[in-house]
């Protein structure tokens, strides 16, 4: 490697790329924390991408038809922040760069969606970005099919590192992308052969070229420090042949730092003042910390404005649409909820009360989707190979695939984590509201992406059926007992476990109308009776409400969710028959109840009563309802699970584990 020769061969490119490198070195050094090596190694690739290929306008970072750029290797966040500052994103000031990783700065250690326009998704947990990108590419294909390439015609570019490709989720993502022939998805592999522990060869021997090729991808290669070779590869990658593309960019981590380049020492810690000084000299960079000369910054700003002409032409095409089409496109892009949602839900609730069906809430969910999906073209469904069990496919959707980009239902295959991450990408792209199904117990397999849905504050909808031991014979491996508690423990997540068709309809209405938090719909396999007798107000939105009132001043309050609300109602009947005034409170969503005014919570849960929580799951998460809000540990109890389930019919399981009306009534009388 001859830095001087590289510099002299293309001084213009060299100065642009070096400005990224020095900002990364300086910011990490100032923070005394961070990952300088990856931005230094990928600066040449990023410069060529932003300068020659990426369609964007820094003055309008949310322009819908921009190319999406995703930094899957989120530890190299200073690469993205440097690019945003240099190209002129208004929010990304030099002060923000100086305050990298500090309190209150938008330059978090890993890119955080919502901190600044231009950060397309939260990355850091390796593999999430590349998996999100599959959802971005799916959404682009679907929107282009629906609205035409005059309004939607862009690519998804990803920078992925060795670590991203080691994570298991990456295989779910690349195999799904290959099967779907997402030809506008381009992954730039930072092939630097270094992880935190050292050489990749210490822990991995995968031939990535053969792996991607076997998954249906086209594979290209380039010298990641040769601008002309990079440009050649990216130009070829843009020539869509119907396959997603991997570009192997062979790079050197910490490029130019004499003692630390090409070693793990450049990966996750500052280079040190002495190493930075020597590196600056080798770069021929004579400027002080955080100083980018005006001529170089001006050239970067021109790169940042290169897409303005394309954006303005696009806006003219949008403005020329008929008013109705223009308004609908704007609604879809903004994520605004259709005014057709509430009437459809209201009509279904009235129909339910008239028909009094006894059905599983997974079937109730399907009935909701059957009336909602035809009216809401933004609904984009799917399942991780459990379509017939999750009841997520309705006739109006059509199946999305290489031969039908207008389909709104995708078969994700047995890829729970990949599905969840792709749904995040679909939501973030804009234009669709994704929902996807699997069994509640397999939230374990989707946890990383579900957590990021909550962290980003986006409205991904998780349809999680077979929600308790009530699924029966499949046994304890499939029977969730701790999963409701785990989901409820996740901040900014709505966990809704409806008890019948009416509550299921209300839960869906809330989920579709919530764009700043994910929703987990926990739905039963077994049939449940209709327990709601009025269809007016959305009572599920209160989180908990009085379903059956006591005959007199309540002495006992029974609280339950989902299938156990039926148990509570039967226990109330037994207690009332003995003259014990008993109230039943349905608790479809603890998070929404916690948000209610204190007066309402105290009205629902009066002091001085015996309280019993009933749920075919572990107790964790219930104590604030049983002992808080004026309750007491001496007058409260929980009927549920204390361990794992077993293989048997549901009715036998509930009896054997003591989740019965008789057991609840006995507990109440003992506490009285």
Residues taking part in catalysis: 416
- Nearest Cα residue to 542 out of 603, 612, 620, 467: 603
- Residues 605/545, Cβ–Cβ less than 8 Å: no
Is the distance from CB of 66 to CB of 272 less than 8 angstroms? no
Instruction: Tell me whether strands 610-614 and 545-548 are parallel, antiparallel or unpaired.
Output: unpaired
Backbone angles phi, psi at 159, to 5 degrees: -105, 120
Comparing CA positions, the residue from 573, 575, 580, 586 lying closest to residue 552 is 580
Torsion, CA 94, CA 95, CA 97, CA 99, rounded to 10: 170
H or E stretch at 387: helix 387-390
Query: What is the separation of C-alpha 663 from the centre of its chain, rounded to a whole number of angstroms?
Result: 40
Show the 3-state SS of 603-624: HHCCCCCEEEEECCCCCCCCHH
Q: 495, 553 in Cβ contact below 8 A?
A: no
Q: Quote the CA–CA distance of 307 and 241 in Å, as a whole number.
A: 25
Helix (H) or strand (E) holding 249: strand 245-250
> Tokens at residue 66, please?
């921009």
From CA 177, how far away is CA 94, in angstroms rounded?
A: 37
Q: For residue 545, give Cα distances in angstroms to 150, 345, 492, 596, 639.
A: 49, 19, 21, 11, 19
Q: Which residues contact 650 (CB under 8 A, 6 or more apart)?
A: 469, 470, 471, 472, 525, 526
- Tokens in use for 172? 């779910």
Q: Is 118 left (phi over 0), alpha (psi -120 to 50) or beta?
A: left
8-state DSSP, 647: S
Strands of 515-555, DSSP E = 519-523, 545-548
CA–CA distances in Å: residue 640 to residues 520, 559, 643: 20, 12, 9
Residue with tokens 């361990």: 643
- C-alpha span between 6 and 377 (Å, rounded): 52
User: Which stretches does DSSP call E strand in 282-418?
Assistant: 379-383, 409-411
**Residues 44, 69: Cα–Cα separation, whole Å:** 16
d(CA 129, CA 19): 25
């Amino acid at each position: 490697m001859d830095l001087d020769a590289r510099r002299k061969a293309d001084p213009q490119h060299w100065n642009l790329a070096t400005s990224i490198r020095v900002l990364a070195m300086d910011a990490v050094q100032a923070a005394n924390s961070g990952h300088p090596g990856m931005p230094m190694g990928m600066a040449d690739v990023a410069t060529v991408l932003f300068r020659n290929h990426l369609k964007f306008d820094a003055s309008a970072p949310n322009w819908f038809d921009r190319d999406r750029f995703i930094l899957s290797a989120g530890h190299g966040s200073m690469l993205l922040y440097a690019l945003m500052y240099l190209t002129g994103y208004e929010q990304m000031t030099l002060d923000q760069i100086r305050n990298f990783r500090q309190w209150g700065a938008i330059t978090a250690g890993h890119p955080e969606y919502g901190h600044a326009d231009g950060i397309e998704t939260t990355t850091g947990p390796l593999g999430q970005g590349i998996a999100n990108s599959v959802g971005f590419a799916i959404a682009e294909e679907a929107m282009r099919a629906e609205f035409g390439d005059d309004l939607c015609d862009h690519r998804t570019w990803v920078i992925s590192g060795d670590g991203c490709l080691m994570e298991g989720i990456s295989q779910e993502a690349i195999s799904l992308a290959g099967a779907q022939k997402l030809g506008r998805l381009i992954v730039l592999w930072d092939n630097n052969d270094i992880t935190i522990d050292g050489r990749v060869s210490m822990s991995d021997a995968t031939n990535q070229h053969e792996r991607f090729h076997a998954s249906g991808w086209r594979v290209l290669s380039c010298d990641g420090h040769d601008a002309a070779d990079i440009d050649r590869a990216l130009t070829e990658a843009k020539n869509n042949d119907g396959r997603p593309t991997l570009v192997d960019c062979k790079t050197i981590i910490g490029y130019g730092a004499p003692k630390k380049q090409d070693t793990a020492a450049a990966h996750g810690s500052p280079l040190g003042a002495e190493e930075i000084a020597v590196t600056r000299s080798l770069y021929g960079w004579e400027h002080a910390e955080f100083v980018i000369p005006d001529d170089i910054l001006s050239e970067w700003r021109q790169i940042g404005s290169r897409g303005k002409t394309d954006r303005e032409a696009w806006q003219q095409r949008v403005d020329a649409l008929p008013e109705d089409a223009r308004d609908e496109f704007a609604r879809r892009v903004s994520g605004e909820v259709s005014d057709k949602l509430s009437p459809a839900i209201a009509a279904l609730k009235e129909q339910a009360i008239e028909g009094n069906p006894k059905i599983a809430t997974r079937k109730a969910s399907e009935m909701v989707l059957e009336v909602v999906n035809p009216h809401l073209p933004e609904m984009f469904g799917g399942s991780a190979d459990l379509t017939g069990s999750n009841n997520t496919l309705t006739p109006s959707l059509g199946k999305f695939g290489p031969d039908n980009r207008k389909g709104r239902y995708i078969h994700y295959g047995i890829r729970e984590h990949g599905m969840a991450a792709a749904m995040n990408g679909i939501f973030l792209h804009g234009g669709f509201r994704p929902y996807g199904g699997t069994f509640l117990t397999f939230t374990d397999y989707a946890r990383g992406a579900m957590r990021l849905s909550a962290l980003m504050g986006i409205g991904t909808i998780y349809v999680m059926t077979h929600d308790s031991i009530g699924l029966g014979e499949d046994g304890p491996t499939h029977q969730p007992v701790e999963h409701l508690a785990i989901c409820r423990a996740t901040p900014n997540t709505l966990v809704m476990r409806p008890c019948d068709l009416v509550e299921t309809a209300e839960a869906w209405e809330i989920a579709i109308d919530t764009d700043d938090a994910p929703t987990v719909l926990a739905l039963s396999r077994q049939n449940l009776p209709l327990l709601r007798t009025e269809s007016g107000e959305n009572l599920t939105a209160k989180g908990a409400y009085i379903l059956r009132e006591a005959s007199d001043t309540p002495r006992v309050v029974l609280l339950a969710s989902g299938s156990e609300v039926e148990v509570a109602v039967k226990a109330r009947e037994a207690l009332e028959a003995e003259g014990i005034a008993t109230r039943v409170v349905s608790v479809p969503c603890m998070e929404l109840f916690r948000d209610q005014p204190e007066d309402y919570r105290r009205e629902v849960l009066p002091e001085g009563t015996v309280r019993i929580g009933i749920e075919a799951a572990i107790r964790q998460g219930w104590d604030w309802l049983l002992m808080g809000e004026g309750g007491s540990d001496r007058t409260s109890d929980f009927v549920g699970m204390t361990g794992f389930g077993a293989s048997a019919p549901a009715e036998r399981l509930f009896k054997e584990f003591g989740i019965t009306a008789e057991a609840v009534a006995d507990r109440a009388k003992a506490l009285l």
